[in-house]
Structures are given as structure tokens and as C-alpha cells.
Amino acid sequence: MGVAETLKDKMRPNGNGGAATNGDQPAARSKKEKSAVPVTMVALDARGIERILRLYEPMFANALMGAIPPERVIQISTSIIAESDNLKTCSTRSIVGAVLSASLVRLDPTPELGLVYFIPRKGKCCFEIGYQGWITLMLRNPNVSHIYAYCVRENDTFEVRLGLEPDIIHVPNLDKPGALKYVYAVAHLANGQRVFRYLNQAQVEARRDRSEARESKYSPWNDPVLKEEMWGKVGIKVLRKFIPVDTESKVGTAMALDGRSVTPEVFDLEKKSIRIDTREAEEADFTVESADEGEGKKAAVSEPPKNGDERYLKALAVHRKKIIELKGERYWNDLPGQFGLERFEEVEPAGQEQMLLDLSRITNELLRTRQNGKNGEQGSLI
């Protein structure tokens, strides 16, 4: 059996490795094996959820850039979704968008870390960065040596001094602290300088109201324990404007994605850009492309794809880029023939999901080959 035949046989869903018969191609399955990506994940168990997320594994890998293994992000996200019936009722595209958001800012979604949250709200999954997530992002900046935020309660002693020698005096009342009243954030810079910013309750709540997840009972804003952390997060986000910029920290990207529900269509990982309404994105450290394509067109953030082909072609482009990077353009050009095709674009809608699964397996095997130290040009998938 030749390499092409062996590869086609290995790509079968049952993984039994039986011999391929005439006309039996991975892109031509029975209708039961060609189910489209569901609108929600309500009917899926953990294995089904993982199967959907693995369709986007090359996108996760491109966004993560080696910071976190994509397999870990998929495993953790699968567990989070599988354990939450409320998340399962959210649109699949918004869930994938939340996972991509975490990947793009390179924050581990493990719930115990408190870096990011996936929050269900009105049928969408909102992406929310927590206080610890913002601390992590800010500490990536080599100009920052230490950063923190404290909440001030109504019975605390609190005094702010500005002028030539700015200073903050804060003496908390540990016995009867009272309600939240102010928050302040402080950063110690590498050059020895200290900078700080403070906000009152009205300023914090005005920023809270920009979050799409603010009304969800699952939002950390509405958790009595996490609410104080969210106040601290607001202080950090305001302070970041007064710290020397470092684009590698992904702070600008985080500003645009935090508290939003997005879909995979807004990400262009090849250009390192996202299609988000520029009026809602603050000082992004990536290129923000206009989502308008003419009069009367709405932003792509809220526009669903017109059909399955559009999502398929976007995912196909990601696979193409990654496989060419790992194995070369000639390998990619020869790959359709191993599936009995001239071009991957000719796959019918009913067979597109299975084709993406097949390409994901190939991409994953190539990635494992590279990680194991094998030569990407001479290594074999077989």
C-alpha cells in the first residue's frame, strides 16, 4: 500500500485502518457522519465538545504562538463547557470566539487561576479578563516591575496628594470596612518611578456597564467575592494608559476583547488583526480593520456567516498556512490528490466538516513531528 493510500486509510473516523475501497474518500461520508457544526452545544457531551473545538485547533495554535499548548487550551475549555449547562446554550460560534480570545491574549483559561472567564449571557458566551489576568498582562511589560490595586471602603482613611510629590495614604478599617467607595492602582516601573491612578464608585460602574456580561448572574461583577477584584481590574486598566507601551504584552488586544462576545469571523490571525468596531476598541496594539463593506452593512462582530462554505474556507485558509509552514507548499498542493480531489475548495458542504477534521489530524501530526525534533521536510505521517 502506497503512502497516499495509507494516509487516506489512516484518516478514517473509526481509526481501524481498513483497506480503502474504490470511491471511498474521507470527504465523502454518509450523511450521519457529515453533521454540521451545531448552533449550540446543548446536545453534546465532552467528546462532542472537544471534537468541535479541534476543528479550530490550528487557529488556537497560531494565536498562542507556543505560549500554551493548544491541546491544553482545548482540554480545559472542553471541561469548562461540559460542566456548565448554561454555557452549552450559548452559540457555538461565540464559545469558540471566547476560546480564541483567551488564546490571542495568551491567558490560560483554567478557572482556578482566575485569569479569564467564559460567561453565558443571552445566548452568547462573553469573554471576561479577571484581575489576575490583567496583572499577568501588565507584568509582561519589561517597564513594569510591580503592579497592584486596592479597594477603599467607606470607613477607611483615604487621602490623595497630587502636585510635585504625588502620594496616597490609605489606612483600612479592618473591623467595620463598609461599602466599596474608591479603587486605586499603583505601578512600580523599572526606572524606579511610581505611577498611580484612582477612581470613585461612579467611575468604576460606568466602566463596568461597558461589559456585555454585566447583567449575567454568572459574571464576576455580580459575585460578592469577586466584585472587589473586578474593581481592582478597572483600576489596572485605567493605569495602563500611563505606563510606557509594550506591544508584546497584548494589553491593547486585551482591551478590545475584554467583556465582549465575538465569533471566529472577527479574527484574522495571518494579519494579526481583528474586525471590531473601532469606536469600542481602545488603543489596540494590533491593526483594527473596518468591518464595514458598504452602506447599510453592519459590523462583522454581529454578522453570522452566510453559509457553511464561508466558515469552511476561512478554516481551510488557516490549515493551508500552517501545513505549508510545517511541510512546504509542494506538500500542500499534492495533498488534495490523496483525498481524490483536485482542490479542497470543491468539497461539498455536507463533507466540509469531515474534511476539516481530516486536515486537523494531519496538522496535529505535523506539529507533533516538529515537537519531537524530527525533520519537517523528511518526516512521515505514516
Name the strands in the sheet holding 287-288, side by side, starting at the edge strand that comes first in the sequence. Answer: 267-268, 273-274, 287-288
> Which band of pLDDT confidence, cut at 50, 70 and 90, is reported for residue 309?
low
Instruction: With beta carbons less than 8 A apart as the criterion, state whether 235 and 79 touch.
Output: no
What residues form DSSP beta bridges with 146?
188
CA–CA gap between residue 337 and residue 161 (Å, rounded): 72
Q: What percent of the chain has pLDDT over 70?
A: 76
pLDDT tens profile 242-277: 888 777 778 888 888 888 888 888 887 775 556 665
pTM, full prediction: 0.61
DSSP state, 91? B
Bridge-based pairing of strands 267-268 and 273-274 is antiparallel
Instruction: With beta carbons less than 8 A apart as the criterion, state whether 286 and 273 touch.
Output: yes
Angle at 101 between CA 325 and CA 214, to 5 degrees: 175
Instruction: With beta carbons less than 8 A apart as the criterion, state whether 133 and 109 touch.
Output: no
> Which band of pLDDT confidence, cut at 50, 70 and 90, is reported for residue 215?
confident
Bridge-based pairing of strands 273-274 and 287-288 is parallel
Residue 30 pLDDT more than 60? no
The per-residue pLDDT for 35 is 46
Long-range residue pairs from 249-252, CB within 8 A, at least 24 positions apart, any chain: 249/137, 249/138, 249/140, 249/141, 249/285, 250/104, 250/105, 250/106, 250/137, 250/140, 250/285, 251/137, 251/138, 251/140, 251/141, 251/285, 252/282, 252/283, 252/284, 252/285, 252/286
